[in-house]
Structure 1
Amino acid sequence: MPQQFTQVNYYQLCDELTIMDTDFAMVIKQHGYPPFWSRPNTFESLVHIILEQQVSLASALSALNKLRERVGEITPARVLVLTDAEMRECYCSRQKTAYIRYLAEAILGGQINLSDFEQMEDDDIRSRLTALKGIGNWTVDVYLMFALHHTDVLPIGDLAIVNAIKQLKNLQKDTPKEDLLIIADTWKPYRTVASMLLWHFYLQTRKPKSKT
């Protein structure tokens, strides 16, 4: 079973990364520790991640909240009774509506069992989930990180992560991903926690500066 991080050891792992890479020490010194981003291992959490594909976090959360208003608890059975029009009213595109339905049907049909994933290796989980239309590596990465708390996941398909690495390391904008992956290898076996630090760095450095 893959190593996991918890609220108990989260700061300790951040501190270990500052020893492995002093740039992370700078991040924590300037911006503090990253939040403990976490979601329950539920159908709703996977729906939330699907909604976050290629849109702003605020837009995805608006759609999720609309779904909650419509059905209460977001479960596979409750989502599947919604019509296309009702899904559109919840800000779900036609494409994402289809992806959410594929996932719901896979869970109800027994093809996917989220509780089983808690004892499985990353690669096995990835192969199960990416077999479903609409779930790619980025969605699986975020699920492994936020819902299962696996310690060594790097969502290299995430633009914020890519840009944060380039900014932190003073790299050219056209630096290839292969070079970024070589850098990230030095963060093993804590690439998830490194990613949390990178997201934190990215968000903090883009906050508007307060007027004095």
Structure 2
Amino acid sequence: MVKVFDLNNYHQLCDLLAEQDPDLAGIMNRYGYPPFWSRPNTFESLVHIILEQQVSLASALAALNKLKAKIGEINPESFLQLNDEELKACYFSRQKTIYVRDLAQKIINGALSLSALALLPANDIRIQLKNIKGIGDWTVDIYLAFTLHHCDIFPIGDLAVVNAVKSLKKLPKDAKKEDLLEISNIWKPYRTLAVMLLWHFYLEERKVKI
């Protein structure tokens, strides 16, 4: 059975990690609990994650809001009615237009069911989602963590997480992914909760520096 977290056990699991790792405890002591970041299991949420690929969160949200202003509810059918120029006006790049169209078409033709995904193990979800153009491991990891709330996800492709680990554990800037993954093993089977704390640390530290 897939281990998931929710609002009922979120703080409890953060406390458990803080007991195991003094560095994570330090984040909690300084900044408190991380927000309960969560998104519904919808087409819109996956579109949002695709938009966040390799751009700032603010840019992705601007594109999502522009799309929402254009079509109202963001669903596969409405999205596929937009032409290239209309999507460009919503800040969609050519590549992301291709990606989201492929996602929309697969949902409409029944090749992908988001409700069915929620019942599957992480590896099976990864296989299905990576059949969509433009969806790789980072997108799947964010979906598993934010939307389905799987407990043990570590998005090694996420720059904020990588930089937070390096800073927190005082690693060199050129530390290898293998070193980061080895450190993440101490947080199993609740690495997603550690990631929430790491994002919290990263965002709060940036506020301090600004």
TM-score bucket (shorter structure) = over 0.9
SS in 2 for 1:126: helix
Query: Which one-letter code corresponds to 2:77 in the other structure?
Result: A
Structure 1 counterpart of 2:65, one-letter code: N
Q: What is the CA distance between 1:8 and its match in structure 2?
A: 0.9
Pair 1:85-2:85 in alignment: yes
Question: 1:100: which partner in 2?
Answer: 100
Map of 1:153 onto structure 2: 153
**Helix, strand or coil at the partner of 2:207:** coil
Task: Output one character per residue of 1:151-202: Cα deviation in whole Å (capped at 9) or x when no partner.
Answer: 1000000011000000000111011010110000010000000000000000
1:17 aligns with 2:4: no
Encode CA deviations 1:110-167: one digit per residue, 9 max, x unaligned. Answer: 1100000111000000000001110000000000011101110000000110000000
Q: Shift of residue 208 of structure 1?
A: 4.2
Quick one: distance in 2 between partners of 1:126 and 1:55? 22
Q: Look up the equivalent residue of 1:184 and give its one-letter code.
A: S
Structure 1 residues 134-173: aligned runs within 5 Å: 134-173=134-173
Q: Distance in 2 between matches of 1:73 and 1:20?
A: 43
Give the aligned residue type for 2:80.
Answer: L
How do 1:110-149 residues align onto structure 2 when only pairs under 5 Å count?
Answer: 110-149=110-149
- Residues of 2 paired with 1:197 and 1:2: CA distance? 21
1:22 CA displacement: 1.1
Partner Cα separation in structure 2 for residue 52 and residue 21 of structure 1? 30
Q: Which amino acid aligns with 1:6?
A: D
User: How many aligned positions are there?
Assistant: 210
Aligned to 2:187: 187
C-alpha distance in 1, partners of 2:132/2:103?
7
Q: Which portions of structure 1, spanning 4 or more consecutive aligned residues, are displaced by more than 6 angstroms?
A: none
Change (3 A) 1:209 1:185: closer
Report the TM-score when normalising by structure 1: 0.97
The runs of 5 or more residues in structure 2 that have no matched partner are none
Residues 4-62 of structure 1, C-alpha deviation per residue, up to 9 Å, x if partnerless?
A: 10011100000000112111110000011100000000000000000000000000000
SS in 2 for 1:186: helix
Distance 2:209 2:126 in 1: 40
Partners in 1 of 2:208 and 2:174 — Cα distance? Answer: 26
Shift of 1:209: 5.4
